[in-house]
Chain A
Amino acid sequence: MIEHGSQVKELADKHGRRRDSLIPILQGLLEGRNYLTDEDMVQVAKELDISAADVYGTASFYSFMDTEVRGKYVIRVCKTISCSMKGKNEVLRTIEDTLKIKVGETTSDRQFSLLETNCIGWCHKAPAILINDTPYTELTPEKVTEILQEYIKKQ
Chain B
Amino acid sequence: MVIELTASREFTWEGWRPKIGEAQIFTQDYRVIEEAKTSEQSLKSKFSQLPAFGLWKDRKESDEELLEELGSGWRGFASEL
A, B bound: no
Residues of B within 8 A of A (CB): none
Residues of A within 8 A of B (CB): none
